[in-house]
Amino acid sequence: MSLLAPRTLSPTRSRVEVIAVGVIAVGLIIVLPLLNSAEVISNFHLNLWGKYLCYALLAISVDLLWGYTGLLSLGQALFFALGGYMHGMYLMRMIGDLGQHKKPIPDFLVFLGWTELPAFWIPFSSFSFAFAMVLLIPGIIAYVFGFLAFRSRIKGVYFSILTQALTYGTSLMFFRNNLLMGGNNGFTDFKFILGYDLLSPVTQRGLFVITALVLVATYVGCRWLSRTKFGLVQQAIRDGENRVLFSGYATAHYKLFVFVLAALIASIGGALYVPQVGIINPSEMTPEKSLEAVVWVAVGGRGTLVGPILGAISINALKSYATRAFPDLWLIILGGLFVFMVLFLPGGIVSIPGRLKAIWQKMRGTRPPPPDSSTRPAIPLRSEPEVVTSKS
């Protein structure tokens, strides 16, 4: 809770939020796994939900950039995939000599004619090293890219195109066999994690609990961040970067911080995704994946923290259902949904209760309360004109 204020969120409202988040957190972290161990929820479905929660982390990272800072990244899945790859390297090492070729190095390397491990693979036998790389590699790439882009004041559509080019270029690199990262098959056939059998329901349940914990912690952390002065500056950059610059803030530093933070969140999401889904390949970093994540955020409601989580879970649940029920129609359904949301519900799913309330009040003929931010809606999709400054 911010102490900067008199804040406008009323105490009852924030209490409702704390209770709601608490209930959902307990539901995800304790109730779902318990139901799974009691065999009420199948392993398949728990695993599916684990995947959704990883996607929710990716969605939060997109929203942190797009909804809160006005930076539309069309390459956020890159960091998700890199996190997955770094963790995947550790999981590949844990296969040991149980691969199809029965050699102590990963199968794809045997296939490429290697007889011993390439040097850069060696330290990935250590889980802690791999975990450090999950944070470091995406963090460093985001830092260098962000530093150059923000220092040159690249913004708007140019920034979006560059992020897309970055993820596309990297995916082309990972498709090549001679990068020694598995080529277009990527990594799969994982068997153990930290000595536990990866395929056992208990391990998968543990991974689910960890994912849920990370998601709740990320939510709480981002919630805190959005209510600090940092959060105020971040959202001010979104609405009028010039004013922020002329108020003495080095906006590039703020944007860089958010960009790196978002990359780390996405990367952790990817690192949790790989052991639950059992495969990582370069198609995870193609531009479509990043665009999909943007759709989740748009549908859920950008500029809120609940929105991306709702969007990621609901669209992916719909996808799981629709790709089985109407495999040929899925992309049309997704596109149609996106168009529908932009046209009729620009605030996303999270804006539905507010809209219903407004309609209800209109029907009863009561006047709406004074327009302060206690009724803060999500930011509409259509971008407002930026604060224009004069030029004579």
Partner 1 sequence: MPHPIIAVEDVSKTYDGFKAITNLTFYLYEGELRTVIGPNGAGKSTFFDLISGRAKPDQGKIDFGAETAASHDLTALNEYEINRLGIGRKFQTPSVYSEHTVWDNLVLSLKGPRGVFASLLRRLSSTERDRLDEILKLIRLDAKRPWKAGLLAHGEKQWLEIGMLLAQDPKVLLVDEPAAGMTDDETHRTGELLLSLAGKHSLIVVEHDMGFVKQIARDGQVTVLHQGTVLCEGKFDDVQADPKVREVYLGRGKHGTR
User: Which residues in this chain contact partner 1 in the complex, by CB under 8 A?
Assistant: 3-6, 8, 225, 228-230, 232-233, 235-236, 238-240, 242-251, 253-254, 257, 370-374, 376, 379, 384, 387-392
How many angstroms separate the CA atoms of 264 and 79, rounded? 7
8 strand-pairing partners: none
Least Å from the CB of residue 371 to partner 1: 5
Residue 114: partners with Cβ closer than 8 Å, 6 or more residues away: 105, 180
Structure tokens at 376: 């803060």
Nearest to 254 by CA among 65, 13, 52, 8: 65
Hey, what are 288's tokens?
């479509």
Q: Which is nearer to partner 1, 127 or 257 (CB)?
A: 257
Query: Smallest distance from the beta carbon of 134 to partner 1, in angstroms?
Result: 23
In angstroms, what is the minimal distance from the CB of 122 to partner 1?
A: 36
Q: What is the CA angle 28-131-280, rounded to 5?
A: 75
How far apart CA 350 and CA 348 sit, in angstroms, is 5
Q: Closest CB to partner 1 among 198 and 258? A: 258
Q: How far is CA 254 from the centre of its chain?
A: 20
Please state the closest distance from residue 377 (CB atom) to partner 1, in A.
10
* CB 255 to partner 1: min, Å: 10
Q: Between 79 and 259, name the residue whose CB sits nearer to partner 1.
A: 259
- Residue 386: phi and psi, rounded to 5, are -70, 160
CA 179, CA 344: separation in Å to the nearest integer? 46
CB 180 within 8 A of CB 113: no
Closer residue to partner 1 (CB): 353 or 370: 370
Q: How many residues does the chain have?
A: 392
Least distance in angstroms from the C-beta of 328 to partner 1: 42
Shortest distance, position 373 Cβ to partner 1, whole Å: 5
| CB closer to partner 1 out of 166 and 236 | 236
CB half-sphere exposure, 100, CA atoms < 13 A: 7
Task: Indicate the residue among 205 and 238 with the shorter CB distance to partner 1.
Answer: 238
Question: Residue 230 or residue 338: which is nearer to partner 1 going by CB?
Answer: 230
